[in-house]
Structure 1
Amino acid sequence: MRALLVVNPVATTTSLRTREVITHALASDLKLDVATTESRGHARELARLAAQNGETELVIGLGGDGTVNEIVNGLLHQGPDPERLPRLAVVPGGSTNVFARALGLPNHAVEATGVLLDAIESGRERTIGLGLASGVPETDDAGVRPRWFTFCAGLGFDAGVVGRVEQKRELGRRSTHALYVRQVLKQFAKEQHRSRGTIRLEREGHEPVEDLVASIVCNTAPWTYLGNRPVYAAPRASFDTALDVLGLSRLTPLAMSRYGTQLLTSSPERGPRGKHAVTLHDVSDFTLHSQVPLPFQMDGDHLGVRNSVNFTGVRRALRVIA
């Protein structure tokens, strides 16, 4: 099998030696081409070319969730076509690796490589669904280029946290869970003055959901991890269904304490709940509008601010090996 290994050389949890060991292991079983990313967006371009050349059967991402997101968007540049496009595989190298772990891979690059090689040898693969987000041209928003996401997106509070973390990382701070917790508290201090949310969720055939302050869109569960602890914003979300949504309409200190505790103690059977929590399961198409521009994130990547975003859950979009 001819494969392309896309390596992020600044992935958080892999060293040069580890990457060399992984490359050698993969090359022993595959006709392996190796490409190292040089800038933001490079992984997307490498995957796009691999999808077009007609020879590459598998693209492997060695990096974090951001690298995986770029590869997926490169592979699906012309849209989903699971039978034609190369398969996707992931070796986790980031700080959290939600997508790889949601596929059942170990959160250790060398161990995950062993699992991946076993899956290739046994022909173990699955076809998963993905999320697609695009701007709404009739609003004042300039729009957002359609973009695929693998595990989550968010408009509002959680995207603001992601943006704060990225700012700290650009200043040289390491991506740690303690850093995320501090930014959650700072974003809460900024947001708690709002008397009501500005987000409206619309979907055809249903009454709109008004006054949300946070909206989390999930394509799988868990939503994220704190260390080894999985956090479930939408426990029923799955790669085999469309999208799930958790919306919160209150961020007072009491509400923050309640929903924060519910997230930290969440499980595959039970997520956040209460009169200020809205949950939707297996939703194929919907739109989030905001009266004011709000932070927007996809797969943990801050994408600026948006007034309006369309979401589509696309079933059976891409083949993965895991």
Structure 2
Amino acid sequence: MDVLMIANPNSTTHTDALFHRIVPGLREVSGLRLRTCFTHRPGHAEDLCRGLRRSDYDVILIVGGDGTVNEAINGLLGPVRADDDLRAREQSPLPALAIIPTGSANVFARAVGIPSDPVAAAKDLAVLLAGNRRRRVCLGTWNDRWFAVNAGFGVDAEVIARIERARARGFAATPLRYLIVSLRAWASAQRQPPAMSARVVDRAGETHRIPRVPLCLVSNTNPWTFLGPVPVVTNPRNSFDNGLSLFALRSVRGVRGVAAMLHLVGVGHRPRWEEWISDRIVSVDDAREITLACAGPQRFQVDGEYEGEYEQVRLRAVPGAIEVVAREHTPAPGPRRWRSILRSVVCAR
């Protein structure tokens, strides 16, 4: 088994000492031949993966965060075609994707059941590689590129942009900083709410139109994280086995606006709470195509990375787009209590 390990030395928890704890266990897998490359700049992982096929490597192992995973996926799959149905790709199989998470959120890794601790993840990965445990997952596309976990306009994109500015000034992307930045972005949205609309085509071909909402998120799995380790559960029925899901808030103002925002981090998934905020929330599951449009240029994020300002973005679901080294099913998280959420945000490193 030929494995190409692509490691991002600038990811949040990556250190030389950690790397030396990861590699020996992988080398013990019978028949595994490991080659390692380090990334040196944004987009480097995409360049390293571009054009690779199963005849080159059986597995591409990413040691990094969601941004590096996103780059690897875009490098392996290449630009999105308007009629992309994977038939051409099946004639030339791609390497499977494996992950050891060393980023700040590690959304994709945790969504496929990989431990958040990189040493534990490496041990688990060795078992999965030895047993050839793999599964295919649905991916999303936006314009001509791919995404693995989520995309959206509005408050979430504003938070990502502000976090990137903070990191550029040398501040760490801690859960507490995400919380502070999120509160500031929410306060800004109270004064000048973004305005966007969505057109959703579900699996049955039915079209749903959602006009003028200040927050609109598209997810590809459940959960996806937003405040560090805190699970964000917008669409509980979503998974890598279904199409895309859309979650929108009609308003972020007032007490019920706050309650609807808290719904994002797992608070309020009980019948009385959901009934109280039901008129603020719009959700559609298992969509095959979603078009998001804004009244003017708005910040847009993909897989936790700020992608710039757009007025319109078209997203599509591509079932079974890539093979991942992981167990077949991952249990979904249950509702969380306030104490658990606060502990995750304040105490996590």
So what's the TM-score if we normalise by structure 1? 0.90
What is the alpha-carbon distance in structure 1 between the residues aligned to residue 228 and residue 178 of structure 2? 11
Corresponding residue for residue 289 of structure 2: 285
What is the alpha-carbon distance in structure 1 between the residues aligned to residue 28 and residue 309 of structure 2? 45
Residue 66 of structure 1 contacts residue 301 of structure 1 at CA under 8 Å; is this kept in 2? yes
What is the alpha-carbon distance in structure 2 between the residues aligned to residue 197 and residue 34 of structure 1? 44
Deviation at 1:24, TM superposition (A): 3.0
Corresponding residue for residue 137 of structure 1: none
Q: Verify: 1:126 aligned to 2:125, yes or no.
A: no
Aligned residue-pair number: 309
What is the alpha-carbon distance in structure 2 between the residues aligned to residue 177 and residue 250 of structure 1? 25
Task: Mark the CA change 1:106 to 1:211 in structure 2 (over 3 Å): closer, same or farther.
Answer: same
Corresponding residue for residue 343 of structure 2: none
- The amino acid that maps onto 1:210 is P
Residue 175 of structure 2 contacts residue 229 of structure 2 at CA under 8 Å; is this kept in 1? no
- Gapped runs of 5+ residues in structure 2? 81-85, 327-349
Task: Mark the CA change 1:269 to 1:113 in structure 2 (over 3 Å): closer, same or farther.
Answer: farther
Corresponding residue for residue 213 of structure 1: 214
Corresponding residue for residue 43 of structure 2: 41
Corresponding residue for residue 28 of structure 2: 28
Match of 2:306 among 283, 302, 306: 302
- The amino acid that maps onto 2:259 is R
- The amino acid that maps onto 2:38 is T
Of stretches 62-71 and 11-20 in structure 1, the one that deviates more from structure 2 is 11-20
Of stretches 266-275 and 279-288 in structure 1, the one that deviates more from structure 2 is 266-275
Corresponding residue for residue 344 of structure 2: none
Deviation at 1:187, TM superposition (A): 1.1
- For each residue in 1:202-230, what CA deviation from the matched residue of structure 2 results, as whole angstroms up to 9, or x when unmatched? 24553521011111101000021545442
What is the alpha-carbon distance in structure 2 between the residues aligned to residue 111 and residue 199 of structure 1? 42
RMSD in angstroms over aligned alpha carbons?
2.1
- For each residue in 1:229-263, what CA deviation from the matched residue of structure 2 results, as whole angstroms up to 9, or x when unmatched? 42202211110011000011212132432113323
What is the alpha-carbon distance in structure 2 between the residues aligned to residue 95 and residue 33 of structure 1? 25
What is the alpha-carbon distance in structure 1 between the residues aligned to residue 54 and residue 114 of structure 2? 28
- The amino acid that maps onto 1:61 is I
Corresponding residue for residue 199 of structure 2: 202
Corresponding residue for residue 266 of structure 2: 265
- Counterparts of residues 1-322 of structure 1 (less than 5 Å): 1-29=1-29, 30-49=32-51, 51-52=52-53, 54-77=55-78, 80=86, 81=89, 84-134=93-143, 146-194=144-192, 197-203=194-200, 205-224=206-225, 226-266=227-267, 274-322=278-326
Deviation at 1:78, TM superposition (A): 5.7
Deviation at 1:28, TM superposition (A): 3.5
- For each residue in 1:31-77, what CA deviation from the matched residue of structure 2 results, as whole angstroms up to 9, or x when unmatched? 1110000000000111114x158321110000011111111111111
Deviation at 1:267, TM superposition (A): 8.3
What is the alpha-carbon distance in structure 2 between the residues aligned to residue 265 and residue 48 of structure 1? 37
What is the alpha-carbon distance in structure 1 between the residues aligned to residue 61 and residue 155 of structure 2? 32
What is the alpha-carbon distance in structure 1 between the residues aligned to residue 247 and residue 321 of structure 2? 23
What is the alpha-carbon distance in structure 2 between the residues aligned to residue 190 and residue 225 of structure 1? 18
What is the alpha-carbon distance in structure 2 between the residues aligned to residue 188 and residue 279 of structure 1? 20
Task: Mark the CA change 1:220 to 1:289 in structure 2 (over 3 Å): closer, same or farther.
Answer: same
Corresponding residue for residue 332 of structure 2: none
Of stretches 106-115 and 184-193 in structure 1, the one that deviates more from structure 2 is 184-193
What is the alpha-carbon distance in structure 2 between the residues aligned to residue 314 and residue 267 of structure 1? 31
What is the alpha-carbon distance in structure 2 between the residues aligned to residue 69 and residue 267 of structure 1? 31
Deviation at 1:190, TM superposition (A): 1.8
Task: Mark the CA change 1:212 to 1:225 in structure 2 (over 3 Å): closer, same or farther.
Answer: closer
What is the alpha-carbon distance in structure 2 between the residues aligned to residue 160 and residue 92 of structure 1? 25
What is the alpha-carbon distance in structure 1 between the residues aligned to residue 248 and residue 79 of structure 2? 31
Identity of matched residues, %: 33
Residue 79 of structure 2 contacts residue 145 of structure 2 at CA under 8 Å; is this kept in 1? no
Residue 2 of structure 1 contacts residue 32 of structure 1 at CA under 8 Å; is this kept in 2? yes
SS in 1 for 2:239: coil
Deviation at 1:114, TM superposition (A): 0.8
What is the alpha-carbon distance in structure 2 between the residues aligned to residue 231 and residue 39 of structure 1? 29
What is the alpha-carbon distance in structure 1 between the residues aligned to residue 267 and residue 320 of structure 2? 28
Corresponding residue for residue 142 of structure 1: none
- Gapped runs of 5+ residues in structure 1? 135-145
Corresponding residue for residue 338 of structure 2: none
- For each residue in 1:109-166, what CA deviation from the matched residue of structure 2 results, as whole angstroms up to 9, or x when unmatched? 01101111101111110000000001xxxxxxxxxxx111111111111111111111
SS in 2 for 1:192: helix
What is the alpha-carbon distance in structure 1 between the residues aligned to residue 34 and residue 269 of structure 2? 37
Residue 288 of structure 1 contacts residue 310 of structure 1 at CA under 8 Å; is this kept in 2? yes
What is the alpha-carbon distance in structure 1 between the residues aligned to residue 261 and residue 311 of structure 2? 26
